[in-house]
Amino acid sequence: MSSRMRVTKGHTGNRRGHHGIVMPRLSICSNCGGYHERHRVCLECGFYKGKQVFNVKNKKSLVTDANDKKSNDDSKKATNKKIETKDKEKIKESKVEKKVQRRETNK
């Protein structure tokens, strides 16, 4: 091992500087006074920036709705991809036809 590959104490320290577990920064909710993560909805009362974002009692149903939306988006993306692949195949076919035509004209 050459001296250039040596990991110094400082280098090790710099790498391990990110290893500590840090408590999330908590703020006090303006509505209910409970703790919540900064820039996140208060999970106790469902308020964010003084507005009711979701109803805590219906939280489970809202979460399932969001999941349904996601699955719908995924299916849309899948159909889009299929269409794209079809288009690519068409383009390839048209290119091949053009090449064939050029060869025929050259002869």
Selection from 30, 28, 35, 59 nearest residue 47 by Cα: 30
Our finding on whether 56 is near Zn ion (CB under 5 A) is no
Our finding on whether 43 is near Zn ion (CB under 5 A) is no
Part of the chain binding Zn ion (CB under 5 A), chosen from 9-17, 24-32, 48-56, 62-70: 24-32
Our finding on whether 41 is near Zn ion (CB under 5 A) is no
Among 32, 48, 54, 62, binds Zn ion (CB under 5 A): 32
Query: 36's torsion region: left (phi>0), alpha (psi -120 to 50) or beta?
Result: beta
C-alpha distances in angstroms, 68 versus 27, 72, 98?
31, 6, 45
Nearer to Zn ion among residue 32 and residue 62 (C-beta): 32
Part of the chain binding Zn ion (CB under 5 A), chosen from 28-36, 55-63, 72-80, 91-99: 28-36
Q: Over the range 52-63, which residues count as b (16 or more CB within 10 Å of their CB) and which as e?
A: eebeeeeeeeee
Among 11, 12, 21, 42, binds Zn ion (CB under 5 A): 42
